[in-house]
Structure 1
Amino acid sequence: MAIKRNKRFQAEVATSSLSDIMFFLLLFFLIISTLANPNVIKMMLPKAANNEKTTTQHISISVTEDKRYFINKKEVALSELEGELLAEMGTHTDQAVVVRIPFNSQIQELVDVLQIGVKNNLKFVIATEAK
């Protein structure tokens, strides 16, 4: 007499560790998203062989291709740029000012912004991308 087994082997997927993996992925992406700098306007920067990162607190001045000026994502006219920059810096004159200008812009636009720093003895840095 042949005895049949009622229980057959069924393949199972262990899902208990998947929740742990999803939790770690969620934490990873949350941490990485906070490291991105939200105060910048996306543009193609000039390329340089040596890049250094500023470790001090800084203010960002962005100049777009259509000659619009921004201080930390706040649009400012060129005539008001100096006053707004000094108001933004307040008493913290040791802060660096990062100038972000497109790679194909004219030199005069950069010089106009840098003259503000020379006039007020501010530390200006030009933002670049790695070659």
Structure 2
Amino acid sequence: MALKRRTKISAAFSMSSMTDIVFLLLIFFMITSTMVHPNAIKLLIPKKVTKKVEVQKYLNVRVTSSGRYYVDGKRVGAESIESGLLKAFNSNEQTIVKLRTDKNASTGDVAAVLDIAESNGIKVILDIR
């Protein structure tokens, strides 16, 4: 006696309920996002004011790869670099030293100039070429 099933199992999947849920979630998030107020900082932007721009002059100091020092284009010996640097710095009333070094310059020579500037309270900009 061969019994047959009267109901067949369907392998199809209905997406209609899934799309309903996604649609309802989309509506929910759209409504709640309009109710949220972002925490923003109020900035007080200043009005247009003209200022004079101060141009700072630089005292050029150069250290070569052979260990030579130049202060404003004048050669200074290694033993008198501090006095030469201070004399040029005080006579011109310049506020910043622009230290230019060659690519192969010794770090000890560069550090000597930086130590002199630091001990005398001079600001230094380092320019390596």
Q: TM-score, normalised by structure 2?
A: 0.52
Match of 1:127, as an amino acid?
A: D
Q: Aligned residue pairs: how many?
A: 75
SS in 2 for 1:127: strand
State how 1:91-102 maps to structure 2 within 5 Å. Answer: 95-102=95-102
Max radius of gyration: which structure? 2
Q: Structure 1 runs of 4+ off > 6 angstroms?
A: none
Are the equivalent residues in 1 in contact too, given 2:99–2:126 (CA < 8 A)?
yes
Match of 1:124, as an amino acid?
A: V
Instruction: Extract unaligned runs of 5+ from structure 1.
Output: 1-54
SS in 2 for 1:66: coil
**C-alpha distance in structure 2 between counterparts of 1:91 and 1:72, whole Å:** 12
Are the equivalent residues in 2 in contact too, given 1:61–1:72 (CA < 8 A)?
yes
Q: Which has the higher contact order (CA 8 A, sep 6+)?
A: 1
1:112 aligns with 2:112: yes
Structure 1 residues 53-74: Cα deviation after superposition (integer angstroms, max 9, x where no partner): xx51010110111111100110
Say if 1:91 and 1:105 are closer, same or farther in 2 by CA, change over 3 A.
Answer: closer
**C-alpha distance in structure 2 between counterparts of 1:92 and 1:61, whole Å:** 14
Q: State percent identity of aligned pairs.
A: 23
Are the equivalent residues in 1 in contact too, given 2:58–2:94 (CA < 8 A)?
no
User: How much is the aligned-residue C-alpha RMSD, in angstroms?
Assistant: 1.8
Instruction: Extract unaligned runs of 5+ from structure 2.
Output: 1-54
